[in-house]
């Protein structure tokens, strides 16, 4: 009898999926950096009527910094995991392994 759900993933597939998640987290860092820069410079935006309106940031700066840092830390963590996989192996992954590697739907909740 088999207990629980396990999937098998080749080294190449696991590396590919980790690379995709790393790229998503790195993009998250870029996006939060852009938001922080806009806020720091008080950049205005053009409204629907064509007039420039002051930029109003609904998210406090410290929260944007925290979210940026979480993305950066998770990208670094997944890079560490990816760089220490054994080439040519097949990995049998359970639910906790998939969560650990940020490969489940939703990933980190922001």
Q: How confident is the model at residue 50 (pLDDT cuts 50, 70, 90)?
A: low
SS3 content of the chain, % helix, strand, coil (to 5): 55, 10, 35
Backbone angles phi, psi at 46, to 5 degrees: -85, 125
Number of domains present in the structure of the chain: 1
pLDDT (average), residues 35-52: 69
Asked, for residue 46, whether it belongs to a domain, the answer is: no
Q: How confident is the model at residue 28 (pLDDT cuts 50, 70, 90)?
A: very high
What is the Cα–Cα distance from 50 to 69, expressed in whole angstroms? 35
Asked, for residue 77, whether it belongs to a domain, the answer is: yes
Top pLDDT among 51 and 93 is at 93
Q: How confident is the model at residue 51 (pLDDT cuts 50, 70, 90)?
A: low
Q: How confident is the model at residue 48 (pLDDT cuts 50, 70, 90)?
A: low
Asked, for residue 20, whether it belongs to a domain, the answer is: yes
What is the Cα–Cα distance from 67 to 20, expressed in whole angstroms? 19
Q: What is the pLDDT of residue 109?
A: 44
Asked, for residue 37, whether it belongs to a domain, the answer is: yes
Residue 110 above 50 pLDDT?
Answer: no
Residue 107 above 80 pLDDT?
Answer: no
Asked, for residue 109, whether it belongs to a domain, the answer is: no
Q: Give the residue numbers spanning the domain of 33.
A: 7-41+54-100
pTM: 0.78
Helices 61-83 and 11-40 cross at an angle (nearest 10°) of 160
């Amino acid at each position: 009898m088999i207990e629980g759900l396990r999937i098998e993933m080749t080294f190449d597939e696991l590396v590919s999926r980790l690379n995709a998640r790393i790229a998503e987290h790195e993009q998250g860092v870029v996006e939060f950096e852009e938001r922080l820069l806009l806020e720091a410079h008080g950049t205005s935006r053009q409204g629907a009527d064509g007039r420039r309106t002051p930029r109003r940031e609904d998210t406090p700066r410290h929260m944007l910094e925290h979210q940026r840092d979480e993305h950066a830390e998770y990208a670094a963590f997944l890079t560490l995991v990816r760089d220490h996989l054994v080439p040519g192996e097949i990995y049998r992954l359970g639910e906790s392994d998939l969560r650990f590697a940020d490969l489940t739907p939703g990933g980190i909740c922001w």
